[in-house]
Structures are given as C-alpha cells and as structure tokens.
Amino acid sequence: MGFLKKLFVKKNTEYTQETAPNYSSTKEEILAVDLDWDTIPGFIDIEENEYELPAIISASIAAGDQPNSAFKIKRILKRNPEAHLVSLIAASLAASCYPESSFVIKSIKKEKCRAPEARQ
C-alpha cells in the first residue's frame, strides 16, 4: 500500500524560484551578433558541364522496369568541398578527445567580411 500511496498522493512541497542572473544584452543585440555570420551550405549546385551524367544515372534508376516513363530533373546538388573539409576537421578534433563517440555537424558558419574599421 505504501508503494501505491507514493505514486498517487501529491506531496506538499514548496519550490523556491531562483532568479536568473541579470544580463545586460537584449534580444536585438543577440540577433545583431548573429547577423555577423554566414551559413555555409552543405550542398551546392553543380556546373552545367557536370549535369549530364548524374541526370542520366538518376533517371535510369528511377525508371526501373518502366522504359516508357519520363522524368524531369529539376536540381542536382553536390557536396560543398569547403563544408566537407571543415566538418572533417571539426569531427577529427572532437574525436581525439572522445574516440568512441560519433558526431554530427548540423551547421557551419563563418564570419562575414567586414570593413577593417568596423572590426574594432
């Protein structure tokens, strides 16, 4: 009976609310700081001369056993080499500390180029 009583009977406990530290930055200041960064996309469009081979391969796989079907490929993307390199470096550095872990890079950002006098 004591076990069921512990599950279903509410305890009269008083919770003290701790106040958060008073930070001087406002929401607008935080958003302004975020505007100084560009997101590097994980995938980029391919050039026109690279378009034919992936389009033929993907259309033939999609067609399968139905040779009378037609497909229009709207967009073909390839892995961004800059994002790939940065994610490999970041994951390698993190894996050196935790070798049995796996990591997922969700986004990569770089600082926007600004005028030299604005960087002070």
pLDDT tens by residue, 59-68: 888 888 787 8
SS (H, E, C) the chain: CHHHHHHHCCCCCCCCCCCCCCCCCCHHHHHHHHCCEEEECCEEECCHHHCHHHHHHHHHHHHCCCCCCCCCCCCCEEECHHHHHHHHHHHHHHHHHCCCCCCCCCCEEEECCCCHHHHC
Higher-confidence position of 43 and 25: 43
pLDDT 10s digits, 27-53: 666 556 656 788 999 999 999 899 999
pTM: 0.56
